[in-house]
Amino acid sequence: MELFKKVKIINFMEYSKWGLAASTLLVIACLGLILFKGFNLGVDFAGGSVAQVRFTQKAPIAKIRQAFAEAQFSGVQVSAFGSDKEVVIKIPVGKVHKDLSTEITHILKPLGKFEIRKLDSVGPKVGDELKQKGVLSLVLAILAMMLYVGVRYEWRFALASVVALLHDSLITATSVIVFNIDLNLEVIAAILTLIGYSINDTIIIFDRIREGMLTKRTNDLNFVINEAVSSTLTRTLFTSLTVFFVLLVLYVFGSKILVGFSLPMLIGTIVGTYSSIFIAPRVAILLGFDLERYHENELKKAKKKQEKERLRRQYEHGRV
């Protein structure tokens, strides 16, 4: 089976102007959402407790709320989780609960048979530390990737790949607000995975562009990019589709346990594919990448190498 029998060169650079405009709008919208609506921080970062309770019959959500209110708990949120037998009870930090599991058991006892399937209590200090360490490791990882791409390719390409990566992570992270998912460690895992994919995708295309720049005798960068993106298109689509379907399986069969991972990742795969085709090459051009100069530099480098070779040969010759 073959998707495209022949490489048809599509003028992606023409479309990428629109892509850039769309992305700019999207990024502004995302920033707006983050600023005005903000993330719903989960217990991992905000601290507090969350209990996942499964009843043997239908969970009486209204009664659960009332029971907690009567027990002098304030700010408790109760919501259905997955099936109608299961609920998630969120208890904010504030009152110190020494033995929350016993207390919950006591409060819910009159409401029927149940099982506490999960109970997370996180102190505020831990959340802060997670935030700091998470951000630090992320920043270091991104810097290191940038350095590597910069050394292997060109600094504008490195910067462009990081711009694409930030674009993808920003949109993915914001999707969490739209889908009303709490920002927890699963979401962070999703964003990390996405960063892996995004950089992978971008490098594959950049590698092809570099190959085109070195082999095609033209100074028309747009042509080189179009050619490179077009010839990697099958691979880009195929890879993204496989990943997308694997995630879809995870989303459909993973019930609600993994929703914080699979849903943002589904969005991220689409955005990541789009950005490596339409955004990353465009940004490299915007940053002032110039093919003519690149060729000159390459020529100089080659000449230098030749010169060195010549000198070494002379030297060896002289000694012999």
Check residue 182 and give left, alpha or beta (phi > 0: left; psi -120 to 50: alpha): beta
- From the list 203, 209, 239, the residue with the least C-alpha distance to 226 is 209
Radius of gyration for the alpha carbons in the chain, expressed in angstroms and rounded: 27
Taking CB under 8 A as the rule, which mask of x and - marks residues 257-296 in contact with other proteins?
xx--x-----------------------------------
Is residue 30 close enough to count as binding other proteins by CB under 8 A?
Answer: no
Q: What is the rounded distance in angstroms from the CA atom of residue 320 to the CA atom of residue 304?
A: 24
Which one of the spans 32-40, 65-73, 183-191, 219-227 is the region binding other proteins (CB under 8 A)? 183-191
Is residue 29 close enough to count as binding other proteins by CB under 8 A?
Answer: no
Is residue 52 close enough to count as binding other proteins by CB under 8 A?
Answer: yes
- From the list 115, 103, 109, the residue with the least C-alpha distance to 55 is 115
The answer to whether 171 and 271 have CB atoms below 8 angstroms apart is yes
Is residue 58 close enough to count as binding other proteins by CB under 8 A?
Answer: no
Of 20 and 142, which CB lies nearer to other proteins in the complex structure? 142
Taking CB under 8 A as the rule, which mask of x and - marks residues 132-161 in contact with other proteins?
-xx-xxx-xxx-xx--xx--x---------
CB of 95 to other proteins, least distance (A): 15
Interaction residues for other proteins, span 82-121 (CB under 8 A)? 99-102, 105, 115-121
Q: What is the rounded distance in angstroms from the CA atom of residue 289 to the CA atom of residue 295?
A: 11
Of 219 and 231, which CB lies nearer to other proteins in the complex structure? 231
> Which amino acid belongs to residue 110?
P
Q: What is the rounded distance in angstroms from the CA atom of residue 96 to the CA atom of residue 75?
A: 14
Of 133 and 303, which CB lies nearer to other proteins in the complex structure? 133
**Tokens 């507090």 appear where?**
48
Interaction residues for other proteins, span 214-243 (CB under 8 A)? 231-232, 234-235, 238-239, 241-243
